[in-house]
Amino acid sequence: MPDVIVNSLALLSWSGILLWVAYYLFKKWTNTKIENHFNEKLESYKKELDNERENHKNILRRIENEQLLDHKRKLQDFSYYSSQRQQIYIALYNKILVCSSRVYSLIGLTKSINLSMMSKEELDEFMRSNNYSDQDKNKIDQLYKQNRKMELFQEISDIEEKLSYLRVERALSDLKNYLVYNELFIKDKLFQEINYLYNKFSNFKSYVENIRNIPPERIGDPGEVADSYEKRVSQYQKECEESVSKIKEMLKKDLSIGDYKKKE
C-alpha cells in the first residue's frame, strides 16, 4: 500500500513537472510568436514610413525643381521683356526726335541755294540726295540748260516744300506705326503722352500747310496774318517741346527702375 501511494505521488509530481514545462514552453512559444508578429508588423510599418518619407522627398524635390524651372523661365521672360523694351524705348525716342526735326523744319522752308555757284554735277547730287522724282529732275534739267535761273530757283523751292511735307508725313506715320506695333511693351501713361505728342505734331504740320496754301487774295492784312501765324507756331512749338521733355523724363525713369516695385 505505501508503495502504491509513493508511486502515485511520484507520478503526480512528474505530471506536474511535465505540465509546467509544457506551459512554460507554450508561453515562451506564444510570446515569441507574438513578438515576431509584432516585429514583423513594426518592420513593415517602418518600411511604409520610409517609403512614404521617400515619396514625400520625391514630391518635394519635384516641386522644388518645377518651382526652380518656373523661376528661371520667369527670369528669362523678364530679361527678354526688359531688354526688348529698352531697345523699343531708345528707337521710339529717336523717332520722336526725327519727327521734331521734320516738323520744325516746316517753319523755315525757304532754302538758300546759290545756283550760280552750283555745277551741273552738284545740282544732280543735290537732287539725288533729296530723292527728287525723275519727273522733277527732268524739269529742272531743262530749266538749267536754258539758264532760266529764277524759274529754276522757284521750281526747286516748290519741290523742296512738297518734299518737306512728305518727309513729315513719313516720319509721323513711322512713329505712329511703331507706337501701335509695340504697345504691349509701353506703359499706359507713356503711350498716352506719345500719342498726345503725335497729335500735336500732326496739328502743327496741318496748320503750317494750310496757312501756306491760302491764296494771296484771301490773306487780308499780311501783318495781322503774320502776327497770328507766329503766335500759333510759337504755341505749337512750346507745347511740343514740353511734351518731348516730359516723355524724355518718363523714358529715363522707366529705364532706370525697370519693372521692380518700390518698397512701401
Query: In this structure, is residue 25 part of a structural domain?
Result: no
Is pTM beyond 0.75? Reply is: no
Q: What percent of the chain has pLDDT over 90?
A: 19
Q: pLDDT tens digit string along 177-226?
A: 999 999 888 889 999 999 999 999 999 888 888 777 665 555 555 566 56
Residue 107 maps to a domain: yes
The reply to whether 73 falls in a domain is yes
5-47 residue pLDDT tens: 545 545 545 565 666 666 666 666 776 767 676 667 667 767 7
CB-based contact 177:88 (threshold 8 Å): no
182 CB-near residues (< 8 Å, 6+ apart): 88, 92
Residue 29 lies in a domain: no
Q: Is 134 within the bounds of a domain?
A: yes
Which of 217, 156, 179, 189 has the alpha carbon at shortest distance from 88? 179
Q: Is residue 36 one of the residues assigned to a domain? A: no
> Domain range spanning residue 243?
69-257
Is 138 inside any structural domain?
yes
Query: What SS3 class is residue 237?
Result: helix
- Give yes or no for a contact between 113 and 156, defined as CB atoms under 8 angstroms apart: yes
List CB contacts of 91: < 8 A, sequence separation 6 or more: 178
97 falls within a domain: yes
The total number of structural domains in the chain stands at 1
**Total residue count of the chain as it appears in this document:** 264
